[in-house]
Amino acid sequence: MLVRIVKMSFEPTKIEEFLANFEAVKEKIRNFEGCKFLELYRDQNTTNIFFTYSYWNSEDDLNNYRHSELFKGVWANTKPLFNAKPEAWSVDKIASLK
């Protein structure tokens, strides 16, 4: 399993537009083949910074999403809203406690 973390910083005036876009596509992303989990986080102190946190079966599944028409549409709507370059990490889960 691959864990994908993406940090996104938005123009403050564009936050509501981003949230509306995310609401419209979140189920499609979550139901994309290979995606097992999806969450959206917002920084408590810098409220125009958001993170997506997702689980993918494999790097191939993530790459299939990243090259899909769904991603292209999501990215086309999201990219103009940024005020800084997004950052992304693909990581392996080492430990999880409940």
Identify the three-state secondary structure at position 43.
coil
The position carrying tokens 């599944």 is 61
Helix (H, G, I), strand (E, B) or coil at 6: strand
pLDDT given for residue 39 in this prediction? 98
Q: What is the pLDDT of residues 47-98, one digit of tens each?
A: 999 999 999 999 999 999 999 999 999 999 999 999 999 999 999 999 999 9
The predicted structure's pLDDT at residue 75? 95
pLDDT tens string 7-49 = 999 999 999 999 999 999 999 999 999 999 999 999 999 999 9
Q: Residues 93, 3: contact at Cβ < 8 Å? A: yes
Q: What is the pLDDT of residue 2?
A: 96
pTM: 0.94
pLDDT attached to residue 80: 97
